[in-house]
Structure 1
């Protein structure tokens, strides 16, 4: 069955059409003995370009497929979905590993995939909006397909409390209990991996004041932790192909998750990345995709700034965006949002869930609690046009 994907062209020849030409030996008319810089020109034979079907054929015999992303690029997530759907349509039993969920929340993922937990409660229990925060609609089609087809989804990432602690004190500063939760066999021996991390570190403001060793150790923890969890998933599902979805920085050149997983489990694998804004380097991945940009439809926003640390009922309004439907409707700083539409509000996640399927221009009733100037607090409802 053929599955065309409208957003993708794949270099399904695995970059085999790239070649290096030594121009200095081919220039005509130059004087004998003249030297010119090596251009290292790469030539792409456009006749070799293919589509998603050919890519899926090439991936069908791999036990692990790493599919990278830029987290906020919708087209990357559409391609991830297309690969998962295409392999499933070819009869490949799958398990999906996701960077975007942290390991302690695996039970909530299992319940959602099993159909015993609805989407809103799943988002609350995984603490998605506190721990990941990228628009959930980017990942929603993948998770819904996994739920419909009962494809297991594995939370790959270590809990942020642990990686944050490593950033503060390093691995050596962890307590005995904390050290028991980190992966064993952390490999520090790849100089290219460290060099890439050092280059990233120097781009951060205040890099001179921060501990680069702790920064490197946090990255090692992320990559080794996800690789270790992926290896466990392969062992638990010996008859399934593992599709790992993660940021491209964890996958390119195989330096992050791939080499660390394959060190644990030697299986056939492939790396698939978006080729946009990237040098055509055969070492970076096995396949590069060149999708058209696709924008996620705009969601409706209240235009409020919230104090997530304030105790009390609902969520405290701290301020407003420059263009705020909430402010225009009459809500003021100090109000506590208690309900949006039919959704009671007790947390930041409830706000995000209430607005998940909203659209700009839509009007929603927003109930707030306002401190009374004299006497008891008031409950007021405003009709807010979302921006």
Structure 2
């Protein structure tokens, strides 16, 4: 990560005020002003802070970031303010370094052609989202991201797809990197070994997942399943790092582009994920920037968590309602229906006890034959109603009920 220089002016003023305060107290020893309570607002709204140093100006942060080879912009996917901050930061960076490439975690590599057509102005919004399989692959309200996509198209900034297929991540998590045939690895090279700090960071996250055959206390860093879980996370980081590295090194312009990666904050924090893999690939000048929710504990604002953070409002689910219902699964077609690859935590699908590897055969009596069948049935589902889903699990057909909650007023 990169160290930023913060202005010393405020420090000088603090010293002067401290000396003046000493003089006043000596003259009026019996009058001692009450101390102000310590502020919990470690990252004020609209301010940049360099962890471990203090506040910095927008000009300082953007000027330094624009000199990097790669800038990573983190996010919580459903927080609208995070995406507004990303757009603001992209605009500022583009003003300093117009030769830019933007990579998005939200797209798998196989839809790169759709991104190219979008930038060329050949697709409408609806056509673009359909061609990029947005509802199936990412399934988060596109309105959160469309301002970023329009900014790229308006300025003819190339967009690159950073992600790989969910199926490949699961394969590596289950079998290990070399357990997956080379022709199925999407051109990925073996990830750099994780740091011990990254392993320490991932273990509590792993324990939070359902481990039906083990208790949390039985899981250690040497657990074989946990090591495969790490392998899956590293593969994800490596995949995005490789595309970002290629965008830096394969540019045909005389001036090296500024490559920006838009991704979940988990891939950015502490330099454990994508930055670590970029360093292994020879890209050393990487700047990590994160949005910082005003409700977040100041204990997490430690040196190295990012190069700089920006204060934003925390996510409030009621303030931004998706325009369509979400079941909360990621899937692919196969085995006579839609094969569930992942079930999101706290989703309708999880409550209905839908599980990874289940095959969805019918929804509301409609046979599931193509990708859009699942999307269309779920979108039509009215709030406060129940959706019967016929599935096959371990060669046994069964019916489960997905209960869609009523809209709160």
TM value normalised by structure 2: 0.62
1:230 aligns with 2:244: yes
**Alignment pair present for 1:204 and 2:218:** no
Partner of 2:192: 187
State the alpha-carbon separation in 1 of the partners of residues 326 and 180 from structure 2. 41
- Partner in structure 2 of residue 71 of structure 1: 77
What residue number does 1:315 align with?
none
3-state DSSP of counterpart to 1:69: coil
Residues 295-339 of structure 1: CA deviation (Å, up to 9, x unaligned): 664344579999998999xxxxxxx9xxxxxxxxxxxx94769xx
Structure 2 equivalent of residue 218 of structure 1: 232
| Residues in 2 aligned to 1:132 and 1:13: alpha-carbon distance in whole angstroms | 38
Q: Aligned in 2, Cα 1:169/1:267: closer, same or farther, shift over 3 Å?
A: closer
Q: Deviations over 1:167-219 (max 9, x none)?
A: 3322232124224x252242124111122112210111216559212211110
Quick one: distance in 2 between partners of 1:212 and 1:170?
A: 11
Q: Determine helix, strand or coil for the equivalent of 2:312.
A: coil
Question: Structure 1's 246 and 269: CA in aligned 2 closer, same or farther, altered over 3 A?
Answer: same
Structure 1 unaligned spans of 5+:
1-10, 19-41, 313-319, 321-332, 338-344, 361-385
- Structure 2 residue 297 is matched with structure 1 residue 283: no
Partner of 1:248: 265
2:276 maps to 259
- Which range moves more in the overlay, 62-71 or 118-127? 118-127
Specify which of 98, 101, 115 is matched with residue 104 of structure 2.
98
Per the TM alignment, residue 45 of structure 1 is displaced from its structure 2 partner at its CA by 11
What's the counterpart of residue 87 of structure 1? 93
Contact 2:325 2:378 in 1 (8 A): no
CA contact (8 A) 1:12 1:51 kept: no
Match of 2:321 among 291, 295, 298: 298
Conservation of the 8 A alpha-carbon contact between 2:141 and 2:323: no
Tell me how far apart the structure 1 counterparts of residues 325 and 162 of structure 2 sit (CA, whole Å).
Answer: 33
- Map Cα deviations across residues 128-157 of structure 1 (whole Å, 9 max, x no partner): 211111111111100011011110011111
Task: Please tell me whether the aligned partners of residues 120 and 353 of structure 1 are also in contact (alpha carbons under 8 angstroms).
Answer: no
Gaps of 5+ in 2: 12-39, 48-53, 215-223, 338-347, 349-362, 384-405
Q: Is the 8 A contact 1:275 1:290 kept in 2?
A: yes
Call closer, same or farther: CA 1:80–1:300 in 2, change over 3 Å.
closer
Q: How far has the Cα of 1:70 moved from its partner? A: 1.0
Per the alignment, do residues 43 and 52 of structure 1 end up closer, same or farther by CA in structure 2, a change over 3 Å counting? closer
Task: Decide which of 53, 56, 61 is 1:55's aligned counterpart.
Answer: 61
Q: 1:285 to 1:353 in 2, by over 3 A?
A: same
- 1:139 counterpart residue number: 145
What are the superposed Cα offsets for residues 81-116 of structure 1, whole Å, 9 maximum, x if unpaired? 111111223353211011111111111111111111
Q: Is the 1:129–1:352 Cα contact (8 Å) retained in structure 2?
A: no
Query: Which one is further off, 150-159 or 119-128?
Result: 119-128
Shift of residue 60 of structure 1? 2.5
Q: Verify the 8 A CA contact 1:98 1:155 in the aligned structure 2.
A: yes
CA–CA distance in structure 2, aligned partners of residues 195 and 63 of structure 1: 28
Residue 151 of structure 1 aligns with which residue? 157
- Distance across 1 between alignment mates of 2:64 and 2:246: 25
Closer, same or farther: CA 198–243 of 1 in aligned 2, 3 Å: same
Pair 1:300–1:186, CA change in 2 (3 A): closer
- Partner residue in 2 for 1:269: 286
- Say yes or no: does 1:169 pair with 2:175: yes
Distance 1:176 1:114, change over 3 A: same
What TM-score results when the alignment is normalised by the length of structure 1? 0.66
- Output the aligned Cα RMSD: 4.0
Distance 2:70 2:287 in 1: 7
Whole-Å separation in 1 of the counterparts to 2:292 and 2:267: 15
Go from structure 1 to structure 2 and tell me whether the alpha carbon gap of 1:43 and 1:224 turns closer, same or farther (over 3 Å shift). same
Contact residue 172 and residue 180 of structure 2 kept, 8 A = yes
> Do the aligned partners of residues 243 and 309 (structure 1) sit closer, same or farther apart at CA in structure 2, a change above 3 Å counting?
closer
